[in-house]
A and B are shown apart, each in its own frame.
Chain A
Amino acid sequence: MTTLNFGHPTLRKEDPAILRGEVRYISDMNATGMLFAKVVRSTLAHAKILSIDKSAALNLDGVVAVYIAEDLGPSQRHLASFGQFPPPLLEKWNPKIRPAPVTTLADEIVRYVGEPVALVVANDQYIAEDAAELVSIEYEPLTSISNTVQALSQESPSIHKLEDSLNVISSEPWRSWCSSKEQWNDKGEYQVKWGHNTGIDMRVRVGETDKEFLKANIIVKDQYSSHRYTGVPLEGRGILAIPDPDGEGLMVWSSHQIPYFHRALISESIGISEEKIRVSQPYLGGGFGQKAGIYGEDVLIPFAALKLNRPVKWLEDKIEHFQASSHSREQVFDAEMAFDSNGKILGLRYEVLIDTGAHLTFPVVLPYLGMCHIFGPYRISCMEARIRSVFTNKATAAPYRGAGRPEVVFMVNRLIDHGAKKLGIDPVEIRRINLISSEEMPYDAGILYRDGSPLILDSGNYPEALEKSVNAINYDKFRIKQKELFNVGRFVGIGVACNIEAGGLGPVEGARVEIKSSGDVVIHLGVVDTGQGHRTVFAQICADILNLDLDRVSVRSGDSRGVIYSRGTYHSRAAVLVGNAVQSASLKVRKKLLKLVSHIFEVSEEDLEIRKGTIYVKGAPDKSITIDRCAQLCVPDGSSVAAAVASAGAIVSLPLGMEPSLDETSFQAGTSVVWGHACHIATVEVDPELGIIKILNYVIAHDCGKVINPLIVHGQVHGGIAQGIGGTIFEQLIYDNDGQLLTSNMADYMLPRSTDIPDIEIISLESPSPNNPLGIKGTGEGGTIGPPSVLAAAVEDALESFGVKITSTPLTPGKIIDAIQSAKQ
């Protein structure tokens, strides 16, 4: 086997078609006779729906249907959530979980501005929009809850009634999902009276924190908070549902990161079997987690298509995206960290309130997955946390690239920086003291990871990442320059933050590698490419094993007919699981090829080699056969075989017991996640009078195990950091006290431009994971994890002379000005 491709910065195969405008995104997909849908959404944050008058909308020329909850029959239901607590975690931690799933449409109550209340279907998009305005909804406003503290107060109304939760939990799978012992009394009755507007309440502990805190030389205690922001892929969500010719099944094109789950939702909600539904992806204009949410439209649009027996297309506009696609990152930590006199971390204690918005759709992710990222790269062997997800009348919070990691990493790194300050230790030095060394790998953190398996850091050299980034940014030199600039009235600062990143979450992913009778190789995948280059990287792996030109290998992904089962694209898992599955399936195909050829030439398989698409007998150059030819012989495709046989002038038979076809599927189980890591260092200049931040330099030392394609990896890191910078300085979702979203367009929600993102130096480290054959770790999300921590640290460092403490994001001009003012007082 060669490494002609693996590890190379191979240019992307998909680029030319994209550059020529020849590919199609969901908005470019059409079907004859298709209708256009527009969702009518709640204009209030919390209200009872008193009445809905569809008549004016229905009377508009060109309107075909208007659906509300009562029109949906059994399709109006609770939609299954994703990301449940696995049984080992339920067993170990007994989290209290109150199910609060999304429903297809709002029923009697609306719980956030933008919640879907009705669906209009019309002949064209413009008319659908006109009609949506004519749907008249009468509301009785209820007190809306705008933050978690207000939510917890007994004076606030319940966003989800006790009876509703009991209703949900009375059936499977909810009953199993919320089965921790504390929730059920001896009579088997579910206890819901354990928290007001609380979706999850759990405590986690490792080691004896009380003992450790008593030993502490210093304790840093503060409140650290991360604000609400979101992914904003440039392309919004969208669905085109086309009824099958038999009037029963469906073809669903959607811009969706978890298509198989989408299929399952449709199947369950509409009541048709999964095999009658095909879900496929066109090209996607980004995802970032917002397209892996749980949304009523995912069921509503297929419902409408089947009901009307016409294709129905729905495209999310940007106001809808901001109001109703999932939000993330809003968490407030009351935390304390104990250090000994040398700066060694003795323990960590915290309480966190996660603002989960109106629903709970990914119970385990933001609360638990985030928390797991405390256990590296710093040695924190003793911790205790109370974690609560609290309901508010805002859009539902769900994973956005980083999925809980950035917030937790922010708390930990700020605590460490503040500990360093208190002890008079340099922030780089305190990290040296606390980083887990490579000799300690694999490192058992003593806790279960989000998937229920032991959290064991597989490999990685964290101190190396720190040293290399410190050198690359010329840390010592910078400190000298910093003093010089300070003397002329300029304020520059440097910050450093280290993190780990779990990738490759199971349970499994599959790949099917098929050689067609033409000799072309097709890889079928279930995961979805949202721009990460799947069409190239997975072809690279297969092309190496079959020793073929990359052009000969194409990748078809995101189609529910691709492989029997797939979970989707999230948790930095595709390269890890799919990469290995492609490897494994390709090896199976290779083995079969060699077996066939050894039979044809009557040699043993060890005497064969493959070079550039041809299989040779070693030492006998005239004895060779191309893979194309093997495919003609082996793949049962009527005319090809006949032609091949005819031209061969002889009948070639397959080896005994070998069935025709070169088509193999493999699944890679993610029994244990893999752990990448990074060290981010950045320098900034701050204008203290205006609160404006300029990022001067940004370095990241980054390790994602074996790299299939460094060009792609660097692109992911760069893009992730850009989103992290955006989230830290520019972006903020702001609700007023009535729950109205004030930042619901791309002008008010400011995304970073080319002039805002500095050049980023990427130092690539590679510590293969022992947890999968290829040694790959995940990389998609890593870039987003560091920026909030590193920029807060750098800004605080720049403003050291003012005595400013940065404990929250975003770092807006107003916040910086206020921080300086309050430090003066």
Chain B
Amino acid sequence: MSKMHEITINLNGVDRNLEVEPRRLLCDVLREDFGLTGTHVSCEIGVCGVCTVLMNGKTCRSCLTFAIQADGAEVKTVEYMNQAKGLNYIQKAFHENHALQCGYCTPGFLIVLDNLFTNNKNPSDDQINEALSDVLCRCTGYKNIFKAACDAREALKQM
């Protein structure tokens, strides 16, 4: 059994302490130790993107990150964008465009789009497509997700 390390992660705005074995992946720590099951796990090798979270303001595959590497970092999971009630502007656009079916990939798309709009309040269609190419979906065929992203872009302009 390897040496345990004490780490502190600023998780969705709150400092959380934890003792971890180095090999524990960030996705598992988020989901199991912190109960944040919004982040999902699928391919486990960084290809599909459903595990994507934000680390220090950049998108990051939590299945390719050891929790110990998040020591001292600011990590945001999909739960951070939840309003007290109801849906935020991206979630609403997804709902209105039927941009989710089984929902398993949805957290990945929400995170990459949130990140896109944070850095660029008016991305072009190409920039939206580039962001979307980061995450795999097996149910929707993607077009509704693109439409939702475009609607979110419009909604952001009004906010």
A12 partner residues in chain B, CB cutoff 8 A:
95, 98
Give the number of A-B contacts (CB < 8 Å). Answer: 159
Say how far A652's CB is from chain B's closest CB, in angstroms: 38
Q: Are A757 and B136 in contact (CB under 8 A)?
A: no
The secondary structure that dominates the B interface is loop
Contact A751-B138, Cβ < 8 Å, known A25-B40, A317-B44:
yes
Query: Chain B residues near A720 (CB, 8 Å)?
Result: 141
Say whether B68 faces chain A, with CB atoms less than 8 Å apart.
no
Task: Flag whether B67 is at the interface (Cβ < 8 A).
Answer: no
B95 & A15 in contact (Cβ 8 Å cutoff): yes
Interface centre among B24, B91, B98 (most CB of A within 10 A): B98
A531 to B137, CA, bound (A): 12
Q: Tell me the B72-113 residues at the A interface (CB within 8 Å).
A: 78-79, 82, 86-87, 91, 94-96, 98, 100-107, 110
- The reply to whether the CB of A24 lies closer than 8 angstroms to some CB of chain B is yes
* Chain B residue at smallest Cβ distance from A717: B141
Question: Cβ of A755 and Cβ of B139 under 8 Å apart?
Answer: no
Is B143 in contact with chain A by the CB < 8 A criterion?
yes
Cα A719 to Cα B43 in complex, Å, equals 20
Question: Is there a chain A Cβ closer than 8 Å to B37's Cβ?
Answer: yes
Specify which chain B residues have a CB less than 8 angstroms from the CB of A16 in the assembled complex: 86-87, 91, 95
In-complex Cβ contact of A21 among B45, B82, B142 (8 A): B82
Residue from A15, A19, A235, A711 in contact with B40 in the complex, judged by beta carbons closer than 8 Å: A235
Q: Is the beta-carbon distance between A61 and B1 smaller than 8 angstroms?
A: yes
Question: Which residue of chain B has its CB nearest to the CB of A17?
Answer: B103
Once bound together, how far apart are the Cα atoms of A208 and B131, in whole Å?
A: 58
Judging by beta carbons under 8 Å apart, are B142 and A11 in contact? no
Contact of A746 among B45, B86, B94 (CB under 8 A): B45
Closest residue on chain A to residue B147 by CB atoms: A759
Interface size class of B (residues with CB under 8 A): 35 or more
* Contact for B140 among A232, A530, A719, A746, CB less than 8 A: A719
CB atoms of B141 and A719 under 8 A apart: yes
Residues in B neighbouring A516, C-beta threshold 8 A: none
Q: Contacting B141 at CB < 8 Å: which of A125, A533, A757?
A: A757
Contacts A20-B87, A25-B104 known; A712 to B129 CB distance under 8 Å?
Answer: no
Alpha-carbon separation in the docked complex, A712 to B97 (Å):
11
Residue A23 is within 8 A (CB to CB) of chain B in the complex: yes
Assess whether A754 is in contact with B129, with CB atoms less than 8 Å apart: yes
CB B152 to nearest CB in A, in angstroms, measures 12
A1 within 8 A of B: no
The yes or no answer to A722 lying at the interface (CB within 8 A) is yes
A24-B37, A318-B44, A723-B138 given as contacts; is B132 within 8 A of A754 (CB)?
yes
CB of A648 within 8 A of chain B? Answer: no
Chain A proximity of B158: nearest CB distance (Å):
20
Binary interface encoding of chain A residues 509-541 relative to chain B, with 1 for a CB under 8 A from any of its CBs, else 0: 000000000000000000000111100000000
- Asked whether, in the complex, the Cβ of B105 is within 8 Å of the Cβ of A755, the reply is no
Which A residue sits closest to B104, measured CB to CB? A285
Contacting pair A19 B31 (CB below 8 A): no
A760 CA to B141 CA, complexed, in Å: 9
Q: B100 near A19 (CB under 8 angstroms)?
A: yes
- Please tell me if A363 contacts chain B, counting CB pairs below 8 Å: no
Contact A759 B100 (CB under 8 A): no
Residues of A within 8 A of B116 (CB): none
Give Cα A25–Cα B37 distance, bound, in whole angstroms.
9
Complex contacts, A19 vs chain B, CB 8 Å: 87, 91, 94-95, 100, 103, 106, 110
Chain B residue nearest in CB terms to A235? B104
- Check B40–A285 contact: CB distance below 8 A: yes
Assembly CA distance A233 to B1 (angstroms): 34
Which residues of chain B have C-beta atoms less than 8 A from A9's C-beta? 98
- From 105 to 157 in chain B, residues with beta carbon under 8 angstroms from any chain A beta carbon are 105-107, 110, 129, 132-133, 136-146
Q: 20 A–B contact pairs at CB < 8 A?
A: A11-B95, A11-B96, A20-B87, A20-B91, A21-B37, A21-B38, A21-B107, A25-B104, A27-B40, A27-B41, A126-B24, A234-B40, A235-B40, A283-B102, A286-B139, A718-B143, A718-B144, A720-B141, A721-B141, A747-B47
4 tightest A-B CB contacts, nearest first: A21-B38, A531-B102, A285-B104, A722-B141
